[in-house]
Chain A
Amino acid sequence: MAVNLKRSSGEDSDGGKTSRRRMLGWLTGAGLAGSAGLSAVSNFVFIKPRATYGQPQRFSVGKPEDFPSGTRAILAARGICIVREGTKLAAISITCTHLGCTVGAADTGFACPCHGSRFDQDGNVTGGPAPRPLPWFQITLAPNGEIEVDKDIEIVPGSYLSL
């Protein structure tokens, strides 16, 4: 099939009018680019998981008697530290707010082995690159007498559960 390379008569770009050929070209290009863009977006939708696997964010950690006064118990598997002082209980996160490593207990509170962030006993930043203090999680006493921690709910640091 022969392709006519000449402009359609009467439609000149110099005359301020867009030629039919040019407009069809633009439409074709826009259609192809749009389809490519949509395909790319749908690929991202595909690889973004709808359901994720993980541990429950709300769990029980035992009875208050398991944590005598003065306890600072690191529950590494849960990613929290249970603190008990007298009749006051709290659950402090042990996931570093810097880049997500697990902090360990140190003389002055918590210390991160990855990049040297340091926190005091209450999780406040005392050194290193951590941008925020360690969050405190909501802690409640369930009807069966067990301590329940909800990692989805952060509370104001320093607000203890009184037994």
Chain B
Amino acid sequence: MSPATPPKASFLTALTDLPKNVWKSIFRNPLPSNDLERSSTSFTNFFLHIHPVKVHKNSLRPGYTLGLGLISFFLFVILIVTGILLMFYYVPSTTQAYDRMLDLRGSVAFGTLLRNMHRWGAHGMVAVVFMHLCRVFFTGSYKKPREFNWVVGVILFLLTLFMSFTGYLLPWDQLAFWAITVGTAIAGYAPVIGKDIQFLLMGGTSVGQEALLRFYVLHVAVLPAVLTLAIAIHFWRIRKDGGLSRAEDADPVVSLEAVPADKASVLEPKKLYGFQGLVRGPLPKVGQIPDNTVFSWPNLFLAELFTFVVTLSAILVLSLLFNAPLEEPVNALHPPNPAKAPWYFLGLQEMVSYSAFWGGIGVPGIFVLLLLGTPYMDRSTKGVGKWFSRDRLLANTIFITFVVANIIFVIIGTFFRGANWAFVTPW
């Protein structure tokens, strides 16, 4: 500011420039038009800086990832938003909860739609998270250095199941009551601490108001917080572990020559790939090494936007076409006959119909331990980055066996079980 400018004029200029200055104070970069700005935008924006500035072309191949991780995340976002909205009308009380469901259906604007979106989003998340787990397994992506992120992923899958379990109890209909009865009883079969866990979950010796309140707190506070934290770690680790997995031949072979000392950058003399260095000052080799990456803006961000729009549209269409089920109000005296869990727990229900301990604790527990231990037992580095690689025939076969067995149990539980859980044929 020059001293000659009259104060009045400079104040007026400040006023006229105010919108522009406010905008610029928030967004430091213009819409990118060159590589420098594309990088800068990616890492100066809070929401975008979670992404790398440049992303490997392999990570953008729809046929490789099927976008399953992103879809899971976007479903989680949809569930958070619809869930918070539903909380405005819900009361976790055994005498009011069911009436509140009827209110949502009858007298709340968009109540039915929001409940449908929340229900179908939850079903979708269980399915998509499981498919994501399968994708990561079949492409061998859990291998070093991604072992720990696989473990976080398995925990996320379990949290998703627990989240959906605590959620479908809340309407306090027949499904809710008998699911909570059976679910807490299964926990009671766990060795040593089972009975204590059951007591803590139910908040008493029988299923009632205390149990509903406890599952509500788990569903709207405890589990979302844990899930959010675990998702943050999961995303963070993707980048720290070198991006999405890819085959060895996905990168062109380059030999890096020693950079003459007098030409090296004073900022980062050793890091050839430092993107901050790329923006702040030219490094000798950047841009000259073929590395099969593209800028995240716009390639990755458009792909994410597209995935989000498709996910949201699918949930919206489902929610407009199909209403979320609501069974009869709780009748603590008579379970529905047969009393069936949602489809994704029917395999488990079928298994506990043989043995409560082995079906509810033993086999699922062993399966989870196997999943958690997979990257530490399978140390071979072959077959990463390809679907159904021949090098991974054994691992994939074992995994498919487990998946198919579970699917068969789900199908039996869904279609072949009638009154008193007796075997029936659906035709």
Tell which of B178, B204, B333, B334 touches A52, judged by Cβ atoms closer than 8 Å. B204
Which A residues lie within 8 Å of B205 (CB)?
52, 54
> Whole-angstrom distance between the alpha carbons of A157 and B28 in the complex?
80
Closest A residue to B331 by beta carbon equals: A76
Which B residues lie within 8 Å of A101 (CB)?
178, 181-182, 335, 339
Q: How far is the CB of A105 from chain B (nearest CB, A)?
A: 11
Q: A48-B199, A102-B335, A129-B354 are in contact. Are A114 and B421 (CB under 8 A)?
A: yes
**B: contact size bracket:** 35 or more
List the one stretch of B106-114, B206-214, B240-248 in contact with chain A. B206-214
Question: Contact at B339–A113, with CB atoms within 8 Å?
Answer: yes
Which B residues lie within 8 Å of A113 (CB)?
335-339, 419-421
Q: Kindly identify, within residues 36 to 50 of chain A, every residue whose CB is under 8 Å from any CB belonging to chain B.
A: 44, 47-49
Q: A44-B200, A99-B356, A129-B355 are in contact. Are A106 and B335 (CB under 8 A)?
A: no
Q: How far is the CB of A51 from chain B (nearest CB, A)?
A: 9
> Whole-angstrom distance between the alpha carbons of A83 and B396 in the complex?
56
Which B residues lie within 8 Å of A52 (CB)?
203-205, 210
Q: How far is the CB of A154 from chain B (nearest CB, A)?
A: 15
Closest A residue to B204 by beta carbon equals: A52
- Indicate if B185 sits at the interface (CB-CB under 8 A): yes
Closest A residue to B357 by beta carbon equals: A131
The number of residue pairs between A and B whose CB atoms lie closer than 8 Å in the complex comes to 91
Q: Kindly identify, within residues 91 to 121 of chain A, every residue whose CB is under 8 Å from any CB belonging to chain B.
A: 98-102, 104, 106, 111-116, 118
Which A residues lie within 8 Å of B353 (CB)?
115-116, 128-129
- Indicate if A156 sits at the interface (CB-CB under 8 A): no
- Indicate if B377 sits at the interface (CB-CB under 8 A): no
**1/0 per residue A116-147: CB within 8 Å of B?**
10100000000011010000000000000000
Question: Contact at B186–A99, with CB atoms within 8 Å?
Answer: yes
> Whole-angstrom distance between the alpha carbons of A42 and B208 in the complex?
24
Tell which of A47, A114, A118 touches B335, judged by Cβ atoms closer than 8 Å. A114
> Whole-angstrom distance between the alpha carbons of A116 and B419 in the complex?
8
Tell which of A48, A55, A100 touches B182, judged by Cβ atoms closer than 8 Å. A100
> Whole-angstrom distance between the alpha carbons of A53 and B204 in the complex?
7
**1/0 per residue B174-213: CB within 8 Å of A?**
0000100110111000000000100110011110111000
Q: How far is the CB of A109 from chain B (nearest CB, A)?
A: 12
**1/0 per residue A65-91: CB within 8 Å of B?**
000000000001100000000000000
Closest A residue to B179 by beta carbon equals: A114
> Whole-angstrom distance between the alpha carbons of A128 and B337 in the complex?
16
- Indicate if B9 sits at the interface (CB-CB under 8 A): no
- Indicate if B256 sits at the interface (CB-CB under 8 A): no
- Indicate if B314 sits at the interface (CB-CB under 8 A): no
Which B residues lie within 8 Å of A131 (CB)?
356
Question: Contact at A129–B339, with CB atoms within 8 Å?
Answer: no
> Whole-angstrom distance between the alpha carbons of A76 and B352 in the complex?
24
Question: Contact at A53–B181, with CB atoms within 8 Å?
Answer: no
Question: Contact at B210–A49, with CB atoms within 8 Å?
Answer: yes
- Indicate if B422 sits at the interface (CB-CB under 8 A): yes
Question: Contact at B334–A102, with CB atoms within 8 Å?
Answer: yes
Closest B residue to A54 by beta carbon equals: B206
Q: How far is the CB of A58 from chain B (nearest CB, A)?
A: 14
Question: Contact at B335–A53, with CB atoms within 8 Å?
Answer: no
Give 10 closest A-B pairs by Cβ, nearest first.
Answer: A116-B421, A76-B333, A52-B204, A113-B337, A115-B353, A99-B185, A100-B185, A111-B420, A99-B182, A114-B339
- 17 contacting pairs across A/B (C-beta < 8 A): A47-B200, A52-B205, A52-B210, A54-B205, A99-B181, A101-B178, A101-B182, A101-B335, A102-B334, A102-B335, A104-B420, A106-B420, A115-B353, A115-B421, A118-B420, A128-B421, A129-B354
Instruction: List residues of B whose CB falls within 8 A of some A CB.
Output: 178, 181-182, 184-186, 196, 199-200, 203-206, 208-210, 214, 332-339, 349, 352-356, 359-360, 417, 419-422
